[in-house]
Amino acid sequence: MTIKIIDAEMVCDFNKVICGPDYRCYGIGKVESALHSAYYPGSYPFHHGSIISVAGAMAFYLTKAHAFYDGNKRVAAVSAITLMELNGYELEYSFSERDNSNELADAIESTAAGQINIDELKKWFDIHKTPTA
């Protein structure tokens, strides 16, 4: 099985785009550690299971890593979504500009606040996955 992964440089590039001139990484080692934890043991089959569970674990570990001055939660979400898209999946979740609700943002915020754990976040990703055509 061929799995496409993202690396620490790509994650840092996401933060550069998200934060622009305010970009500041506290250490690429924090990003590498978060990715290593998600991808463990380094090739398929992964400890966390499916690529969807790996994406959820990645979002969890990147959120908790605090590798960047700003944008940690946004980078975690974009990184997980990108991993899923590279491997034939997308997320479907409710989002409304009218009442400013966003299920993905709520899940990542809850992760950052310690209100949901890694298994709950992986389950959230699994529930909201859709294969791309």
3 inside domain: no
What lies within 8 Å, CB to CB, of 99 at 6+ separation is none
Percentage of the chain lying above the pLDDT 70 cut: 98
2 inside domain: no
40 inside domain: yes
1 inside domain: no
Number of domains in the chain: 1
Which residue range is the domain that position 126 belongs to?
8-131
75 inside domain: yes
C-beta neighbour count of 53 within 10 angstroms: 21
CATH number at residue 12: 1.20.120.1870
User: Is the pLDDT confidence value at 1 over 70?
Assistant: no
Residue 130, H or E segment = strand 129-131
Compute CA distances 16 → 11, 12, 24, 44, whole Å.
9, 6, 8, 29
Q: Do residues 85 and 91 make contact, with C-beta atoms less than 8 angstroms apart?
A: no
Residues 74-133 have pLDDT tens digits of 999 999 999 999 999 999 999 888 888 899 999 999 999 999 999 999 999 999 999 997
